[in-house]
Structure 1
C-alpha cells in the first residue's frame, strides 16, 4: 500500500481508519495523497467549491445508483468506484450529468 492514493467520498477519514486497521497487524502503509470524488466532481462539472456535492448528489450527477448503498460501507465504496469510473469517462470526452447539485 506504500505510496497509493486513498480515494472515495471521505478519503482522509477512510485512510485514517485503514491505517489503524493495518497497525493492528503490524503494517504501516503511507498514503501518497487522497482523492475526494465529491471535490473532483465539483471541479470537473464547474460546481463552485462552496457547493461541493454530497456523496448522494455526486452519485446522482454521474448516474450511479445509491438506493441500497446508504447503509453499507462496502456498497458506498462500490458507488465511489463507479463515480471515479464515470469521471474518467467524462474526462476522456464522455457525457456529463444532467442533475443540478444545487437543487437535488
Structure 2
C-alpha cells in the first residue's frame, strides 16, 4: 500500500526533529554574535586604554617641561641674589644714629 502523504505521526516527529535542528543552528549564530560583541568590546577597551596612555605620556612630557622651567627660574633667582647688594645691617647704622642727634 502506497501513501501519497506521510502518515501524521511521521510528520509530527519530522517537524519536532526540524525544530531541534533549527534550535541547534541558532546557537552557533548566537555564540558567534556573542563572540563578536565580546571582541568588539575588547577592541573598544583597548582603544580607550591606548588613548589614556597617550594622554598620560603627554602629561608626563608637560610635567618634565615645567620642571625644567622651574629649575631655570630658580637658577636665575639664585644668580640675581648672588650678584645683588647685600642687605644693610642695623649695626652699620648704629654709629650714624648716635652722631646725628
TM-score range, shorter chain: under 0.3
Structure that is richer in helix per residue: 2
Larger Rg over CA atoms: 2
TM-score when normalising by structure 2: 0.22
